[in-house]
Structure 1
Amino acid sequence: MTSNVHPPARLLAYDGSGIDGGLYTRITGWAEAAPHWFDQLVTQWSALGLGVFAVLMVWGWWRARAADSTVMARVLASPLIVVGAYLVNSVFKSLVEENRPCQQIPGTVTLEACPAPGDWSFPSNHTVIAFAAAVALWYADRRLGWIGLVAAVLMGASRVWVGAHYPHDVAVGALVGVLVAIPLALLAGRAAPLVDRLRTGPLGPVLGAGAA
């Protein structure tokens, strides 16, 4: 574990500790007292778990080869939806400029090294990406969507457990991911006629024949 004690930033940034700093401290205390193997598992998931969503997208594409063109259009759009959610979240981060809790709360002990000043905390990028991916997949394939939503909840929880974010960073990150992904996923379905045409061309083997 890493102990992070930082002096107050010279350039005053938003201090989110007044919202749920006590809950954050309680959770990181649980992490400090948890078995080492469990902390390692959560830390690895927090760092690498977003790769699971890429795997789910590939799985979605494979399943969509036998589905109608609306499903395929939404699956193909899912990476773009994630990028869109990330860009929207980047704007929020730059507007709020909330200090990381490990920078703001003295004596914080975290599993993940505390990011450098200027790497803002609100909302959580990891959580935004995870929930945007899960929602995009849900509109294309309910089974994959449910798997994605469970993985997204675990990703958000892990970001607090490792000490990288306040709980409200994660909660708002989930909201941003969902609210951005829903309209984009619905809009992506309108590309079905384009997928229909592509399925009759050279990309047919990649896009599949669609539902019979």
Structure 2
Amino acid sequence: MELSEVNISLFRLVNDLGKEYTYLNPVFSFIAEYMVLILALGVVIIWFTRDKNNRIMILCATITFICAFTIGKISGQFHSNYQPFAELSGVNKLIDKEKDNSFPSDHTILFFSYCISFWLFKRGWSILWIMLAFLVGISRIWVGVHYPFDVIAGILISFATATFIYFTVPKLSVTKKILMIYEKCEEALFQPFKKSKGSKTKTKNY
């Protein structure tokens, strides 16, 4: 069996589940389109814990995404395929998507870039982020906009990139300098609010 046949067979295996378990379609549609908002919220919350290690983790995860996304786009120049709904008949297409190159999956690269980075830095609880990333990858197949190989390629690119970034970027002196500059700017930005709050407290004491 050729790889393309395996790809299609695996796609049918997942996508056809939506025809059998229709009550799950709204759930997977939400995950496929809007789970990115949960990820963005998580990144913001972790960043503003103002813990230095957390900020290095978020910085590395962001660099991972930028690099992995770029590698993904380059990979797409060497191999390309349209979305399943554009190439196959009887696809259970659940979300709107323009016809274009779906290799590799950008959503998968985004989620795995951050979630693998979280796991490399934190292990333990961060396995939940990995599970979320896998759920997003599966959802993109479920709703008919990606083949399994699109998702697998996104995972491999993200994993390789995240691992490389994890073992290199935190050790660079420029990483600490960037954080130091940012924190000084952040402190300068919020200083007026702190003074205002402090003056109000003193006024109440009188």
In the other structure, the counterpart of 1:170 is 151
Matches within 5 A, 1:109-148: 109-113=92-96, 115-116=98-99, 119-143=100-124, 145-148=126-129
User: 1:78 Cα shift?
Assistant: 2.3
Pairing partner for 1:44 from 18, 30, 36: 30
Pairing partner for 1:98 from 76, 81, 86: 81
1:100–1:120 Cα contact (<8 Å) kept = yes
Output the amino acid matched with 1:160: I
In the other structure, the counterpart of 2:204 is none
Alpha carbons of structure 1 residues 90 and 195: separation in structure 2 relative to 1, 3 Å: closer
Output the amino acid matched with 2:61: S
Output the amino acid matched with 1:60: I
1:27 aligns with 2:22: no
Pairing partner for 1:62 from 48, 64, 71: 48
TM-score, with structure 2 as normaliser: 0.77
User: 1:19 Cα shift?
Assistant: 2.8
Output the amino acid matched with 2:90: G
Query: Which has the higher mean CA deviation after the structures are superposed, 193-202 or 96-105?
Result: 193-202
CA distance in structure 2 between the aligned counterparts of 1:28 and 1:200, rounded to whole angstroms:
46
User: 1:55 Cα shift?
Assistant: 1.9
In the other structure, the counterpart of 1:150 is 131
Q: Which runs of 5+ in 1 are unaligned?
A: 1-14, 207-212
- The answer to which structure, 1 or 2, has the higher relative contact order (CA under 8 A, 6+ apart) is 1
CA distance in structure 2 between the aligned counterparts of 1:197 and 1:111, rounded to whole angstroms:
45
Q: Deviation per CA, 1:16-49, whole angstroms, max 9, x where unpaired? A: 742321221232221012133x211110110011
Query: Which has the higher mean CA deviation after the structures are superposed, 157-166 or 91-100?
Result: 91-100
Alpha carbons of structure 1 residues 34 and 197: separation in structure 2 relative to 1, 3 Å: closer
Q: Which runs of 5+ in 2 are unaligned?
A: 190-206
Over aligned residue pairs, what C-alpha RMSD do you find?
A: 2.7
- The percent identity for this pair of structures is 20
Alpha carbons of structure 1 residues 140 and 204: separation in structure 2 relative to 1, 3 Å: farther
Q: Deviation per CA, 1:137-179, whole angstroms, max 9, x where unpaired? A: 2234335632321110100010111111111211121111111
**Greater Rg by CA:** 2
Secondary structure of the structure 1 residue equivalent to 2:115: helix
CA distance in structure 1 between the aligned counterparts of 2:164 and 2:118, rounded to whole angstroms:
13
Alpha carbons of structure 1 residues 186 and 167: separation in structure 2 relative to 1, 3 Å: same
Between Structure 1 and Structure 2, the one with more helix by share is 2
Q: Deviation per CA, 1:103-133, whole angstroms, max 9, x where unpaired? A: 22223232224532xx112211111111111
